Amino acid sequence: MPITDWQFWVATSIAAVAAWLVLRPIARPLLRRGVRGRGRVRRTGLTIEGRPANRR
């Protein structure tokens, strides 16, 4: 691995961010479940681009 090449580290950082974007939908619910416990009932509301409609 070209660990002395600064370009390698920039490219790897970008790839890591991309990997996080791909894995985030799986990771986020798992992390949330761990913090807040299982079985939380979510009320149905209206969201626009993932945010509640009245908080835009």
Partner 1 sequence: MTISADQATPDADSARRVRRVALVGNPNTGKTTLFNRLCGVRAKTANFPGSTVDARVGSCVRGGRMEIVDLPGTYSLDLDLPEARLCRDCIEGRLVACEPDAVLVVLDATNLRRNLQFAASVLRRGRPTVVALNMVDLAMRKGLSIDVDRLAARLGCPVVAISARSGRGIDALVAAVGQGKASAASLPEIGAATGAWADAVLEESVGGAEAVGDAHDSLTDRLDQAFTHPILGLVVFVAVMAGLFATIFWLADLPMSLIEAIFGRAGSLISEHLPAGALSELLADGIVAGISGVVIFLPQICLLFFLLSLLEDTGYLARASFVMDRIMARFGLPGQSFVPLLSSHACALPGIMATRLIPDRNERLATILVAPFMSCSARIPVYVLLIGLLFGERPLVAGIAFAGCYLLGAIAALLSALVARRTILPGRSRPMVLELPSYKWPSLRTALWTTLDRAVLFLRNAGTVILAISIVMWWLSAYPRGDAPPAAEALRAEAALVADEAARAELETEADAMERRSRQAQSFAGRIGAAVQPLFAPLGADRQITVAILTSFLAREVFLGTMIVLVGMPEEEDHDRILDGVRAAVRDDGRPLFDDATAAALLVFFVLAMQCLPTVALVHRETGSWRWPLLQFAWMSGFAWLAAVATHAIVRALSAG
Residue ranges that bind partner 1, judged by CB under 8 A:
1-2, 5, 7-8, 10-12, 14-15, 18-19, 21-22, 25-26, 42-49, 52-55
Of residues 26 and 35, the one with the C-beta less far from partner 1: 26
Of residues 25 and 34, the one with the C-beta less far from partner 1: 25
Q: State how far the Cα of 21 lies from the Cα of 23, in Å rounded to an integer.
A: 6
Q: State how far the Cα of 49 lies from the Cα of 55, in Å rounded to an integer.
A: 11
Q: How far is the CB of 21 from partner 1 (least distance, A)?
A: 4
